[in-house]
Every structure is written in C-alpha cells, then in structure tokens.
Structure 1
C-alpha cells in the first residue's frame, strides 16, 4: 500500500537500513565456561585462581600465571632464558612458529624453569606452558628441565615439575624423544642424592612427557579432571577393540587405579606442596 502511494505521487522511497546490533560488552570482560557453559565475569574467574565459581572447572594456566600462584616474588629467579630452539630437520615453517610463540608468550620455549620460595621453603620449579606449541617437548624443553633438575641436585633442593603437554615434538624427530631418557637420568641422580621430586600433572599431560619424567615423581599429583595418558582414546579403542570407560585417562581414574597419589584442587595446591616439601625436610608441618 505504501509503495503504491509513493508510485502514484512519484515519490522516491528508501529502505530503512537494518539496525546493527553491537556488542555492548567489551571483549574480555566475560568468559564462557567450557564445562557448564555459563557466562562469568573474567575478573571473578581470575580471582578464583582460574577455577569456575559455578562448576569448579579448572582452566589451564600458562607458566607465568602458575608461578604467580606458587612462588613469592622476592628471591624468584628464572633459568636458561637464553637457550634457543633450532630447526635440525629443516621442518617447513617450524622456525617461524617458534618465533611467533616466543612473542605471544614471552618465553623462550614451552617451559619456565627457576627457583623461588614456596611459602617458607626454597624449591626449584619447572612449569610447562601449553600455549607454546601445545607444551610439546623439544630439545630446549628437555635441556631446560634437565638443567633445573641438575641445579636442584647440586644445591640439595627439592624440585616440583608441573606438566601440560601434547608429548614429544614431532618437528625435531628422534632428538625430542631423546629428552625422555635425558630427563629421567637426571631425576635418577636427584633421587640417589636423597632429594624430593613432586610431579604435578595438569590438563593435558600426554605422549612422551607422560611416559617419562611426569610419571617418575616420588609423589605424583594431578589437578581435577586432568587428561593424563600416552596414546589417544580413539587409538587405544581401535587397538583393543573395546569401549573404554567414560572417565578413562582422567586424573580421578588414574587415582583409582593407583597411578596417582592424590588429586589436588588448585585452591589447596600451594599449601599441599609446601607441606610435602617441609615434611621431607623434617621441618614442623601445619596441615
């Protein structure tokens, strides 16, 4: 009717543009929980140590965030920040990807190593970062972890290693697999010196990392619902030709089967580690 009226009076009309719906919430203000799907204020999740206040989902932490939850700022020192990854197999695009991840994370490789004070105890710490090449273990990652273990042995200190990894890095071939043996030999020397190694497996800990130093702790801990295993679920099911339990390869499943000593909530992680360290150093422990 309106179009006919305009046509009769030779009046031009224009279509009214659709109203654009702009996002009124600035980017980063809200975060959607991948577990319960609830939208939450990012600052509330961060204040809760990156644990969902609604469903208790543990968000992955990068190395810098993890250090901040554990060690005092005073006396904190990082190791081997000058080590650089090369491209021994001349894998296409590998060097560029390493440089990109270095810029994105501020790390030289997929692990932070250093020493600091955990409550009242001096410790050596290695923390893998899944935001750097999915925490995969190449030559530099293995070298940094080995040097941290050797430093702990030399200075008679306990070492705590947080793992988060997709396994050995395929771009470095057999050189990455060699790190499994190298780190394990260093840990054996640390153990012979009568020193404590605590392994903390976080989501995910898989492949060559889970099959080497991650499973060699004097005490093996994990965060809730962390994926821990060697081969993937689908590969195992196709190999054994049977359906696996729904909770297969979770921290809780491994605890039930005796492969872990405890599953520790992130809110209790710092105090638990501190007590374990002091217990093994014969200091008074307050549980």
Structure 2
C-alpha cells in the first residue's frame, strides 16, 4: 500500500490520520489552533476517556487538523478531519477550529481545502454539536461572498451532519475512490423504506452518477489535482 495506503487493485484509500494526510498532500504545513480541544464542561467520564484515547492515537487534540499549507508554491488554508478521532465526529471544538480557519482564510484572502472524514455530529455534546453545522456553514458563506475558492475532498467516511453542511458547500467537490458518502446510516434507511438499498448505495461512484460531486480522484493523484484547481482559480481571480 505504501505511504499513500491505497489498494493497488481498486484504488480504495484506506483511512489515514490527519497528520499523515497533511504530510502526503502539502509541501509545508503550519498547524494553527493546536490547543483547541473539548471544553471542560463535558465531565462525562466515558466521553473524557474516549477523548484521551483519541488524542493519544492521532496526536491531535480535536477531530480536525487545521493550518496554513503550501502546495507547489501556492498558499492555502487547510482543514483535515481525522477518522481515528472518535470517527472524525463534529464537536463544538471541531466547529470552532474550522470557523477560525475560514475566518483566517477570508481575512488573508486564501483558498480553503477541506478533507472531510466524519461519522457526523458528536452526540455526546448534544445540541451544541448540531449547532456547529450552521456555525461552520456561515463561515463558509462569508468566505464565498469574499470571492474566495473552497475545495472539498470527501474521504471515507463522510456522513451525517458534516455531509449536510460544509462537506457539500465546496465550489469544487472531489471524492476518493469508493468512499462512503451519505447522511443517514444504511440500516436506518433500510428500516425506513423497508427494502434493501442498491449494492453501491452511498459510495462515491453512485454519488457522482447522481451529480452531487464533481469528480472521483484516486489518492495518488489528489495532490496534483488540487494544485491544478488552485492554480486555475488563481488565474481566474487575477483576471476577475
């Protein structure tokens, strides 16, 4: 599989940590807001235990790694969700980090590249986790109104509240091969419609066929593809 951790036969990209993805995608990456983490108000011992374990496994303090990267001499604000941090769930600190990223990008007139990999809103935080959907979406809209470029890469899995908000707000939406992309879980849907969904239901290829994403890009080609989109947007902006 190599450092990219992809299947040599089908191109499926196995789940990787946010730090590994930053390393294989960007030439340089300067992390920001590294100390933003779950507020102390959540004192549930089981939840705090999961947070502690996730921090140890991933090397980050929340389910998203944010920072300013460079790619082929192009400066970009980047967010990378980590599926090994409580399945990349969207908590209050996650939302805060992403909002700060977009605000910095808007102020400094930078494009944003976001890698999504999430099981959705973090239920341990209740309504505050769900509020992050609207909070982040507002920051994305402000960035868009400033005429700035936002590219999303849907990674395995991208589901729940993340899919229902900022994962689908990109100017360009890419996906890795065979990534799980959807909102509700397969079992919930089966029980609702009382029948089996198609075999490739909620896979990136099916989502592409239905027009919800722009392209599927193998992980081995992502760096080059993202760079090309950034350069294209840069040229368009300079002529705008």
Q: TM-score range by the shorter chain?
A: over 0.9
Matched residue, 2:209: 256
TM-score (norm 1): 0.79
Q: Which residue of 2 aligns with 1:70?
A: 25
User: After the TM superposition, which residues 189-268 of structure 1 pair with which residues of structure 2 at under 5 Å, given as runs?
Assistant: 189-268=142-221
Match of 1:151 among 94, 99, 104: 104
8 Å Cα contact 1:225/1:251 also seen in 2: yes
Residue 114 of structure 1 corresponds to: 67
Q: Does 1:123 align with 2:76?
A: yes
Q: Are the equivalent residues in 1 in contact too, given 2:11–2:177 (CA < 8 A)?
A: no
Q: How many Å separate the matches in 2 of 1:137 and 1:198?
A: 19
Q: Work out which of the two has the higher radius of gyration on C-alpha atoms and give 1 or 2.
A: 1
CA distance 1:175–1:232, shift in 2 (3 Å):
same
Q: Displacement of 1:240 after TM fit?
A: 1.8
Alignment partner for residue 12 of structure 2, among 54, 57, 67? Answer: 57
CA distance in structure 2 between the aligned counterparts of 1:57 and 1:221, rounded to whole angstroms: 14
- In the alignment, what sits opposite 1:136? 89
Q: Counterpart of 1:259 in 2: which secondary structure? A: coil
TM-score by length of 2: 0.94
The answer for the alignment partner of 2:39 in structure 1 is 86
Q: What CA RMSD, in Å, does the superposition of the two structures yield over aligned residues?
A: 1.3
User: Within 2, Cα distance between the matches of 1:163 and 1:114?
Assistant: 15
Q: Which has the higher helix share?
A: 2
What secondary structure, in the 3-state scheme, does the structure 2 residue paired with 1:137 have? coil
Report the counterpart of residue 46 of structure 1 in structure 2. Answer: 2
Higher relative contact order (CA 8 A, sep 6+): 2
Greater Cα offset, 136-145 or 91-100: 91-100
| Residue in 2 that maps onto 1:274 | 227
Aligned equivalents of 1:117 and 1:84: distance in 2? 25
Distance 1:54 1:244 in 2: 26
Number of matched residues? 236
Instruction: Could you tell me which runs of 5 or more consecutive residues in structure 2 were left unpaired when the two chains were aligned.
Output: none
